[in-house]
Structure 1
Amino acid sequence: MSSPHNNSVLVIGGCGSLGHHIVKQSFEDPELSDIAGFDLFTDVNINGTSILLSCIKEVGVTAALIYTFSSSVIHHNMTNLVRATEYHPLCFEPEKTEYYTHTKAVAEQLIVSANKKGELYSAIIRAALLFGESDTTSAPKMVENARAGRAKFQVGDGTNLYDFTYIGNTAYAHLLARKALLREFDATEPFPDDMKVNGEAFVITNDNPWPFWEFTRAVSAAAGHPVNKEKVWVVPASVYYVFTVIVECTVGLFSFGRKEPMINRRMIKYLTLTRTFDISKAKQRLGYRPLVSMQEGILRAVDYYVAHHLEKKKNV
């Protein structure tokens, strides 16, 4: 097997939120320099991964590949997931009702298969729910809800724990995985099984589960809209379910099935289920520890959104 050392690192999806942080931290790494941006457009996760693996095989160069997936690949979103590990089986259709994460699971299988054939050195990072600077989903939506006065609403009893991940910590895990892969490749003696990185998946979180609704209220407070716990409006999950059914039917009827409502029945699972992970494997084999705390990450995420989006809206 040829050496993966070729003095270059390719970040796929470098224009995305997580990719941006990986490129930024790579630029700050003294071992790397001369960052170049590449736009890689693919139809879907599966085809894009297949194209990538075909290129690696055709060129004939062994690649050290750090591939980013989602922790959702092991959760069917039907029941609670408590301190799940990398050894949980992947979920596919029809058990997996979300096609996006189904394709992620299939793509992960492709990476693992290529690794077993000796076509590349690889490690898989399964990121839990991301938030942070340049985040386009979690924090921004919560800030906008807070500004609209909706942060006081809560679905369910609010005890469901969630593992979140500050996006910079996930980028840091990628750099640790790269270094660990190259160390393993250069080793003169076989690595012990409990320290191998090649061909392995690693779940990354902030290692500090929070009640889901506490997180939303922390974001709201950081955005200048604190919510008094005693004034929280608790909506039972069953009531919310009936409401979403009515909304779905109404929107579907008046749009002749061409539009989907902003709220739907699938959201209930995300708002009321527990989803936590055990990251002992990443700690042991990568040496991963979160660099940025939940509180600091929330402040950074909100400050970034306010500075880069809300201020622009004011100036328009």
Structure 2
Amino acid sequence: MVLIDDYWSDNPIPRTTCVVIGGHGFAGKWLVFRLLKLRKWIVRVADSAQSFQLDPSSHLDTALSEALSSGRASYHSIDVTEMSQIVGTIEGSSVVFYFDVGAAYDQNFYTSYMNIVQGAKNVINACRECKVKRLIYYSSADVVFDGSHDIYNATESMPCPSKYKDNWTELKAQAEKLVLFANDIDGLLTCSLRPSNVFGPGETQFMPFLLKQAKSGWTKFIIGTGENISDFTYVENIAHAHVCAEEALDSRSVAVAGKAFFVTNNEPMNFWKFVSLILEGLGYQRPFIKLPVVIVHYILLFGEWVQRELGVSRHNHMRSSHYIVSLASQTRTFDCAAAGEQIGYSPVVGLEEGILKTVESFSHLARDSLYSEYGNVSEQSKADRLLGSGKVADILLWRDERMTFTCFLSLVLLFYWFFLTGRTFISSSALLMMMVAIVSLVCSFLPSNLCGFSVPIISPTYFKVEEPLIKDLIRNVASLLNGGIHVTRLLARGEDWKIFLKAMTYLCILRFTIAWHMTLTVGAAIGFSFTSFFIYEQYEAEIDALAKVLLNRMKKLMRHFPVYVADSSFHRGRCTR
């Protein structure tokens, strides 16, 4: 925990004023804290909230509270789409640090455009009107990423792509261009900072998303090969970079003004190693199952189709799921040499230390935390009930990965043995039984220890069938036969048309399956069994809602078919004339 020094005792109020627009957001808070720590600024914190509550347990909020009470800081509520409010806030200041205000990923395009692009235009015009000397924009390294190609040690000379796959990144790129283009107009000097994969205590996008997926069991999957390298930026380093950029603009304006700089921890790391360190630190399982990117894209396409059927539009989200998959599966590293040479930036917190601080700050959300929700832990899912809540449920719901993989591999081998070798079913069964007999015979003659390896002894009890098991088997077979006889009688009497239609449907499907696609059906059934129940458990509510939609549509279609109602006298054997 960071302790707060007595920054404000016996020190006069500084006369230099700066404004941090978006200063109550994630990265903005850390910059405000660093500016107050320097003891040379009067800091105006501007954000969209009408009022805000300070957390006494946060050292950032505690520092701000002390500054507010001493007059070294003030809070201003602004709407960046209203230029008059911006002018009233920044008037009399010499420096403006601009973080996007209220630009969340889950907003629609118009709102995001107004907050990011139009907000940047208004801030620039207000700075020019108020004769502000320096404007520093908080951008993103994503502005040079097209969502398709890897990036290796990119420098600032790398151009922005002509087309983006992500609306949020495109708007950020437009805002950055506006800020850089405004350099040296009416005496305003500007520059832009481009951090990559920002993380740290209080982060509101990546960490909550990651922990939500971890609780759902999805973080066991690695998207792609898992070999992609990424650059990360700890949030304190971002605050330090803004201070460095302001000092560089003030002293060496010609070399810095009008330029953008990549800002990272200068420690590229395997992306999935970074994720694993975060998850393991919070008690969750690290990713270990690799999924091809193509399969993930198809799953996302299916999910988007389901959302459209449920009436949930993806156009309300500024970050594309496919773009996020690209960020997690492709290499993206950046060269920060220019930031070091031109603005004097170097990380003040290392990557390993930053990860430890981040994990500590989210400890209340750890898997074994006392603050975790208890209600959902013991709640039985519908998929679990459908599978009987036994060993089959544990296997098909991926609760025991080793057992699941063992069963899946065994079924795949049996599928190959009986369906893909070209032999008949009887010959495959006979050959398999012969191989089992030979292996059992050989094992019976082997010593218990062979060349240092212990040989398992097959107990005769493995070949013994318990009497209750035989009775249960006979009872089940008899029940099936009785049920089949009962259904046959109903069909023979012609009294239940629903059963007749069901029986005909089942027989037609069985005939089609056996005659044409038996091998394909069995193979698909194996894959379906090991994926469908797991997916259903994760998205029970959404799938149930989709099923209701499809069922209602089927009912509407059935209304258009003519319904034949037979005369009851026909069933009694009488014919009315």
Asked if these proteins are the same fold (TM beyond 0.5), I'd say yes
- For 2:125 and 2:299, locate their aligned partners in 1 and report how far apart those are by CA, in whole Å: 48
Structure with the larger helix share: 2
Q: Secondary structure at the match of 1:87?
A: coil
Question: 1:57 and 2:138 equivalent?
Answer: no
Q: What is aligned with 2:41?
A: 32
Q: What is aligned with 2:152?
A: 82
| 1:83-114: CA deviation from partner (whole Å, max 9, x where unpaired) | 1111111235xx11222221222212221221
1:139 positional shift: 2.3
Q: What is aligned with 1:68?
A: 138
- For 1:250 and 1:81, locate their aligned partners in 2 and report how far apart those are by CA, in whole Å: 33
Cα gap change, 1:198/1:6 in structure 2, threshold over 3 Å: closer, same or farther?
farther
Cα gap change, 1:200/1:220 in structure 2, threshold over 3 Å: closer, same or farther?
same
Alignment of 1:201-240 (within 5 A): 201-227=260-286, 232-240=288-296
- For 1:314 and 1:98, locate their aligned partners in 2 and report how far apart those are by CA, in whole Å: 34
Partner of residue 299 from structure 2, selected from 243, 247, 268? 243
- For 2:172 and 2:334, locate their aligned partners in 1 and report how far apart those are by CA, in whole Å: 18
Q: What is aligned with 2:308?
A: 252
Question: 1:296 and 2:353 equivalent?
Answer: yes
1:313 positional shift: 5.8
Q: What is aligned with 2:467?
A: none
Cα gap change, 1:197/1:221 in structure 2, threshold over 3 Å: closer, same or farther?
same
> Is the Cα contact below 8 Å between 1:143 and 1:223 reproduced in 2?
no
Q: Secondary structure at the match of 1:65?
A: strand
1:311 positional shift: 6.7
| 1:166-224: CA deviation from partner (whole Å, max 9, x where unpaired) | 11111110011111111225xxxxx6xxxx11222111011111111111111001112
| 1:128-164: CA deviation from partner (whole Å, max 9, x where unpaired) | 1100011011223223333444332111110111111
Cα gap change, 1:28/1:312 in structure 2, threshold over 3 Å: closer, same or farther?
farther
Root mean square deviation of aligned Cα: 2.7
Q: What is aligned with 1:188?
A: none
| 1:236-273: CA deviation from partner (whole Å, max 9, x where unpaired) | 21222222222221221232647889994333212211
Please tell me the residue identity of whatever aligns with 1:41. Answer: D
> Is the Cα contact below 8 Å between 2:229 and 2:333 reproduced in 1?
yes
Give the gaps of 5 or more residues in structure 1: 186-190
Please tell me the residue identity of whatever aligns with 1:72. Answer: D
Q: What is aligned with 1:134?
A: 202
Partner of residue 143 from structure 1, selected from 193, 204, 211? 211
- For 1:26 and 1:315, locate their aligned partners in 2 and report how far apart those are by CA, in whole Å: 41
- For 2:78 and 2:371, locate their aligned partners in 1 and report how far apart those are by CA, in whole Å: 29
User: What is the percent sequence identity of the aligned residues?
Assistant: 27
Q: What is aligned with 1:272?
A: 329
Cα gap change, 1:91/1:149 in structure 2, threshold over 3 Å: closer, same or farther?
same
- For 1:104 and 1:165, locate their aligned partners in 2 and report how far apart those are by CA, in whole Å: 18
TM-score (norm 2): 0.48
1:12 positional shift: 1.1
Q: What is aligned with 2:161?
A: 91
Q: Secondary structure at the match of 1:288?
A: coil
- For 1:6 and 1:50, locate their aligned partners in 2 and report how far apart those are by CA, in whole Å: 28
1:81 positional shift: 1.2
Give the gaps of 5 or more residues in structure 2: 1-13, 43-71, 81-113, 376-577
Question: 1:158 and 2:226 equivalent?
Answer: yes
1:44 positional shift: 2.1
- For 1:308 and 1:26, locate their aligned partners in 2 and report how far apart those are by CA, in whole Å: 30
Please tell me the residue identity of whatever aligns with 1:170. Answer: I
- For 1:278 and 1:13, locate their aligned partners in 2 and report how far apart those are by CA, in whole Å: 27
> Is the Cα contact below 8 Å between 2:268 and 2:333 reproduced in 1?
yes
Partner of residue 41 from structure 1, selected from 79, 82, 87? 79
Cα gap change, 1:258/1:48 in structure 2, threshold over 3 Å: closer, same or farther?
closer
Q: Which has the larger radius of gyration?
A: 2
| 1:28-63: CA deviation from partner (whole Å, max 9, x where unpaired) | 11322412233333332111111112212223x142
- For 1:263 and 1:65, locate their aligned partners in 2 and report how far apart those are by CA, in whole Å: 30
Q: Secondary structure at the match of 2:75?
A: coil
Q: Which has the higher contact order (CA 8 A, sep 6+)?
A: 1
Partner of residue 28 from structure 2, selected from 16, 19, 28? 19
Cα gap change, 1:315/1:24 in structure 2, threshold over 3 Å: closer, same or farther?
farther
Please tell me the residue identity of whatever aligns with 2:269. Answer: W
Q: Secondary structure at the match of 1:144?
A: helix
> Is the Cα contact below 8 Å between 2:190 and 2:257 reproduced in 1?
yes
1:288 positional shift: 1.3
- For 1:141 and 1:216, locate their aligned partners in 2 and report how far apart those are by CA, in whole Å: 12
